Structure 1
Amino acid sequence: MKNKVQRLTARQTMGFILLSILINATGNGLTVSLNMGSALWTASTVNLSHLLNFDLKPLLVIYGVIVVILNAFLIKRIEPRRIINNFLFMIPFSYLVGWTAELFNLLPLDQLNTATKILLDCCGILMIATGVSIYQRVNILLHPNDDFMQILRFKFFHGNSAIAMWVSFMPPITISLICILITHQIYAINVGTAFSLLFQGSLIGLADRYIFPNLKHQGIESAAD
């Protein structure tokens, strides 16, 4: 982190951000549609939407607002620009996840055998990790959940993505358990969720190294302060 990091041009920044959002949203939408296990934050939102009988898309936004407040608490200050960027990412992304899930629902995915569904679901988790890796390195627009993980990663865990991811999963795990205890139903939690819990942090670290390896973390001081 002490080496000088080459700054991105505006065109590079926009290209990486748009690509990463598309990859991440598509991965999330695929896992929601397959119902073989979504990433922990998405899975907990799906379970909460069923508990409250509330549409997934605005609920994802409400979730993000709560995490924005948590992030401000962790860095012990309010950064208006950071919060605005979180919202600029979160609102269109939340609706994009909902829309991509609806598009995947139009495909006959339920007719696939279980092994194929699990494989596709794990591919969805891999897409999520890849998208997160790219826009965390760009570090201009972040979803509050991923900003939360990045703050933990560089402020408390010396850049270790796996440990930071496991710790960042505690809130969605807790919410999912509460929803399951109340409804006695489980949604979006399956093999893919376990795969996400065990490997998503490590997959982000691998994507940092092998997906656009010349793209280094930009402005990471704001997360580590």
Structure 2
Amino acid sequence: MENNHIRTRLLFFLLGLVLVAFGNALSIISTAGNGLWTAAALGLAQWSGVGISFILMTIGLIVIGINLLLSDRFSWLTVSGELLFVLLFSQLIHFFVTALSKNFTVPADLWLRIFLAIVGITIVCLGTSFYQRANLWMYPTDSLTTLLTSRFFNNHFAWAQLVAFVPPVILITATTFHLHAVVGVQAGTLFSLACNGPLIAYFNKRACPFLRLNSPL
């Protein structure tokens, strides 16, 4: 099967990036739970007093380094793309969190905040579906799962995903002990763990099906 035109792939890469950042921002301001990596970043931000965008950028850069150690080949194009992804993503998160905090009143009702977190996580899954199918570059944590799947788990994605979740779980545990409070882990986190895979698979089939799963550059 032929790849989509490069302009189509670039459009959906950028659209996916914006949607993932916006969805994460929604789940952050909901205070009703986030995906594991975002929850870990929120805990570290509260612990250190550093902004969430800087923490996300730092995590992304560290994971890029881990991916380089795991990969059996080096590609400047891949590394440059993932660096660009991390920088844009962290700045977009900062922009959307700031804009939503100023212009949107978070509901006090817990169930409405959980609903907001679920909407945000669902938007993240839609954006992930877009940029993964465009297959220009991936967020480093997604690349980590892909590398673990192919190199160590004989293409068993579920086991690789569990191992990829170990670092954020360790970070969440450490920040919980230090802060004496759980940050970023609530009902939205459980929804993310249970539904990310099925939602991305659903959007792969139903959202803009003309966008194929393209071969790498």
What is the TM-score when the length of structure 1 is the normalising length? 0.87
Q: Give how far 1:152 is off.
A: 3.5
Runs (5+) with no aligned partner, structure 1:
none
Aligned residues, how many? 216
RMSD in angstroms over aligned alpha carbons? 2.0
Structure 2 partner of 1:131: 127
Is residue 171 of structure 1 aligned with residue 167 of structure 2?
Answer: yes
Contact 1:60 1:94 in 2 (8 A): yes
Structure 2 partner of 1:37: 33
Q: How does 1:79-158 map to 2 (within 5 A)?
A: 79-155=75-151, 156=153, 158=155
Q: Give how far 1:88 is off.
A: 1.1
Structure 2 partner of 1:75: 71
Q: Give how far 1:193 is off.
A: 0.9
Structure 1 partner of 2:186: 190
Runs (5+) with no aligned partner, structure 2:
none
Q: Which amino acid aligns with 1:20?
A: G
Structure 2 partner of 1:217: 213
Bigger Cα displacement from structure 2, 6-15 vs 28-37: 6-15
Q: Which amino acid aligns with 1:106?
A: K
User: 3-state DSSP class of the match of 1:185?
Assistant: coil
Is residue 7 of structure 1 aligned with residue 3 of structure 2?
Answer: yes
Q: Give how far 1:24 is off.
A: 0.7
Q: Give how far 1:124 is off.
A: 0.7
User: 3-state DSSP class of the match of 2:182?
Assistant: coil
Q: Using the aligned pairs only, state the percent identity.
A: 26
User: 3-state DSSP class of the match of 1:111?
Assistant: coil
Query: Any idea what the Cα deviations from partners look like across 1:39-63, whole Å, max 9, x if unmatched?
Result: 1111100101111111111221111
Q: Give how far 1:130 is off.
A: 1.4
What is the TM-score when the length of structure 2 is the normalising length? 0.90
Contact 2:126 2:203 in 1 (8 A): yes
State how far apart, in whole Å, the 1-side matches of 2:91 and 2:127 are. Answer: 16
Q: Which amino acid aligns with 1:119?
A: F
